[in-house]
Amino acid sequence: MAKAELFQKDIPKSERVFYYESEEDDPIKTEEQERKEKVTLPEGYEYIPKNIFVKLYAKILFRFFWVFGQWYERCYWQLKIHGREKLKEAKGKGYVMYANHTNPFHDVFGPALAADRKIYTVISPVNLKIPGIGKFLPLIGGVPLGTNPEEKKAMNEAVDTRLVKQKKCLVIYPEAHVWPYYTGIRKFPAGDRSFKYAVRNNLPVFTMTTTYQRRKNKKKGDLPRMTAYVDGPFWPDPKKSEDENRAMLARKAYDSMVKWSKKNTYNYFEYKKK
C-alpha cells in the first residue's frame, strides 16, 4: 500500500489493521528510516534565513500554504475546530502547542488553521528528504531537530527568537511517530524534555487534539471526518524548578489530550498489540 493512499484514499477494511509491539513503534517509515540511514542537515543550514528575498518568498509561500490548507482541511476532512478563543489568553506572548500525531497531511495544515498566528513546527530532519515537498518545509515553518551540538544550539536559539521576540506559535508532536487515525493518546517518548521551550521562556502551553467521526455522506467511502479541540493555557509555575515545571506541563498536556480524545466516535483503523 502506498503511503499517500493510506491517508488520502479509502482502503479495504481488511487492511486497516496495524500490529505493534510498543507505543514507540513507527508504522510509517521513510526510505531513509527503513535503510536505517542517519539523516543530517545540509551544510550551512540556517534556521532563520538572513537573505531578504528568501524571507519574502517564505512569507508568500506560507500564505499560499495557509489558503490551500483552509480548503483541504474544511472540504476534504470536513474539519471543525473548537476552543480557538482560548488562545486569546496568550495575547502579546508566544506559545507552544502540542498535538496528537495521526495524519501527516492534516498535521501539516491543521495547527496552522487552529493557531491565531504563524506556526513553526518541530520536525525530524528526515522530513527534508521527502520528495517534492521536503525542501519547502523550512520555508513554511518546519524546524528540523539538530543532529549535533552545534545544530542543536542553533535550533534552540532560533526557537527562542520565534517565541520571545516574534511571539509566534511553536508546534510539537510529543508522540513523535504518526499512527494513522489512532484514537488514543500515546506516551511521550522524550518525556517532558520538549516542554523546556515554554518553561525557560515563561510561556503558556496549549494542546490541539484531533478526533475522528463518521461522515454523513459516503462520497469518500469510509474515510472519517475530523474535529479538533484546542485547550489551555497551561502556565509554568514561578515557584517550581525547571524540572518540576516541565514534568507538570507534560502531565497537564497529556491529560488534556486524553480528555479530548474521548470525543472520538469512530475507529477507522484497528491497532493490535503483538
What is the domain partition of the chain in residue ranges?
16-273
Judge contact between 262 and 185, C-beta under 8 A.
no
Judge contact between 127 and 41, C-beta under 8 A.
no
Give helix then strand counts, H and E, for the chain: 7, 9
Coil/strand/helix, residue 256: helix
CA 235, 264, 111, 150: dihedral to nearest 10 degrees? 70
pTM: 0.92
pLDDT at 2: 46
pLDDT tens by residue, the chain, 274 residues: 445 555 667 888 888 898 998 888 877 765 555 455 567 788 888 999 999 999 999 999 999 999 999 999 999 999 999 999 999 999 999 999 999 999 988 999 999 999 999 999 999 888 888 777 788 899 999 999 998 899 999 999 999 999 999 999 999 999 999 999 999 999 999 999 999 999 999 999 999 999 999 998 888 889 999 999 999 999 999 999 999 999 999 999 999 999 999 999 999 999 999 8
pLDDT at 31: 56
According to the CATH classification, is domain 16-273 in 1.10.10? no
CB under 8 Å to 21, separation ≥6 — which residues?
A: 273, 274
pLDDT at 3: 56
Considering only CA atoms, which of 129, 136, 176, 138 is closest in space to residue 30? Answer: 129
